[in-house]
Amino acid sequence: MLVAVGFQAEAALLPPGMAVVCAAANPALLARRLAALPRPERILSFGVAGGLDPALPSGALLLASALMAPEGPYTPDAAWTAQLAAATGARPVVLAGCDTLIASAAEKAALRARTGAAAVDMESAVVARHCASLGIPFAVLRAVGDTAHEALPPAAAHGLDEDGNPAPWRVLRALLRRPQDLPGLIRLARRTGTALAALKPAIGAALKHSATG
The H-assigned helical ranges of 73-181 are 78-88, 105-115, 124-134, 168-177
Q: Give me the average pLDDT of each 10-residue run along the chain (213 residues).
A: 94 94 90 96 97 98 98 96 96 96 94 98 97 98 97 70 61 75 83 96 86 45
CATH number assigned to the domain comprising residue 75: 3.40.50.1580
Structural domain boundaries enclosing 45: 2-150+189-212
Report the pLDDT value the prediction gives residue 212, as an integer from 0 to 100: 42
Res 171: pLDDT: 64
Q: 98 in a domain, yes or no?
A: yes
Please give the pLDDT value at position 165: 56
- Give the pLDDT of residue 210: 64
CB atoms within 10 A of CB 177: 9
Task: Please check whether residue 157 lies inside any domain of the structure.
Answer: no
Q: Which pLDDT belongs to residue 23?
A: 85
Determine if the pTM surpasses 0.85: yes
| pLDDT value of position 95 | 98
Which helix (H) or strand (E) segment holds residue 67: the answer is strand 61-69
Question: Total domain count for the chain?
Answer: 1
Query: What is the spatial distance between Cα 33 and Cα 39, in angstroms, rounded to a whole number?
Result: 12
pLDDT (0 to 100) of residue 47: 96
Tell me: the pLDDT tens digits for 172-181?
A: 777 778 888 7
The predicted pLDDT at position 213 comes to 43
Evaluate whether residue 27 is within a structural domain: yes
pLDDT at residue 97 in the model: 97
